[in-house]
Amino acid sequence: MSNPPSASLLGLDLAWSTRNPTGACALDSAGRVVDERMLESDDEIIDWVARHLAERAVVAIDAPLQVPNETGRRPCENELHREYGSRRAGPHASNRSRLVATHGAIRGEDLAARLADLDFGGPWAGRDRTVLEVYPHPAIIETFELPERLVYKAKRGVSVDRRRQGLRKLARLVDSLATASPPFVAPTISIGEDVKGAALKLIEDRLDARLCAWIAAVWNAAPERMRLFGDAATGHIAVPIGRPPSSRNPDGSEIVVHHNLPGD
């Protein structure tokens, strides 16, 4: 097994408004979580990215990063809906009219512009620093071979108990990536019976950020395993395709892969 290039691997579950916190997760090149936290302002997010920045880096962000259309859906959202809509994992429609009216700005676009100042480019730019727009629902379906969307987000008709159950399942699935290639290694997140409200939302954001960071690791290690919906002109959504290969030998022992860590 060849070693993936050493890189900063970062995930952001970006809140569409600065009124809400953003989940952030950073991995080293061995897939170990080296930092996870909640961030508030765009300045705080950019400072966090800069602190973890290596010559090569991938940032995967769950939010619209490029929205040229005034109304309707972006082409990437139409493509994703055709592929995953029947599995209840189609994306929300993103357009300038809706986002500006609801949030006052298109936060993902503003953040992508600031990342460009750190030499980040989209997946077709061919740079050492890549920014990806991602969407957890189809990524979860593909990675864990689920028949349809995993229910764990707040939605009308979804009880708190069902959300807790969904988040527990998601936590177990993310933990199972410890033996995947590339791996994801982090302390388990426990969800007690009394967790609800804002505390439950923080766990959701934390797990989504972890998944985003692992998708960044997939792009770094094996970009051929990523499907890009959309295009460079109208926006994209990157989805890892298929169950990841195991990082264990047929006898169950772990395959030892030596990585250079960022900055080495």
Contact at 8 Å (CB) between 16 and 67? no
Query: What is the model's pLDDT at position 2?
Result: 54
Query: What is the model's pLDDT at position 18?
Result: 86
Q: How far apart are CA 97 and CA 71, in angstroms?
A: 6
Per-residue b or e along 56-77, where b marks 16 or more CB atoms closer than 10 Å to that residue's CB: bbbbbbbbbbbbebeeebbbbb
- Residue 136 sits at φ, ψ, to 5 deg, of -60, -40
Reading the block at residue 76, the tokens are 């990437």
Query: What is the model's pLDDT at position 1?
Result: 44
Q: What is the pLDDT of residues 218-228, one digit of tens each?
A: 999 999 999 99
What is the overall mean pLDDT for the chain? Answer: 91
> CA geometry: angle at 195 spanning 23 and 11, to 5°?
15
Instruction: Order the strands of the 129-133 sheet from edge to edge.
Output: 33-39, 22-27, 8-13, 57-61, 129-133
Query: What is the model's pLDDT at position 245?
Result: 93
Amino acid letter, 165? Q
Label residue 257 by pLDDT band (50, 70, 90).
very low
Q: What is the pLDDT of residues 101-120, one digit of tens each?
A: 988 899 999 999 999 999 99
Label residue 264 by pLDDT band (50, 70, 90).
very low
Q: Is the pLDDT of residue 82 over 70?
A: yes
Instruction: Give which of 245, 238, 24, 18 is closest to 133, Cα–Cα.
Output: 238
Q: Which residues contact 93 (CB under 8 A, 6 or more apart)?
A: 72, 73, 77
Q: Is the pLDDT of residue 68 over 90?
A: yes
Hey, what domains does the chain have and what are their CATH numbers? 8-149+205-240 (3.30.420)
Q: What is the pLDDT of residues 162-216, one digit of tens each?
A: 999 999 999 999 999 999 999 999 999 999 999 999 999 999 999 999 999 999 9
Contact at 8 Å (CB) between 75 and 231? yes
What average pLDDT does the segment 65-77 reach?
97
Q: Is the pLDDT of residue 258 over 60?
A: no
Query: What is the model's pLDDT at position 249?
Result: 41
Q: What is the pLDDT of residues 1-45, one digit of tens each?
A: 456 668 899 999 999 888 899 999 999 989 999 999 999 999 999
Q: Is the pLDDT of residue 60 over 60?
A: yes
Query: What is the model's pLDDT at position 260?
Result: 29
Query: What is the model's pLDDT at position 22?
Result: 98
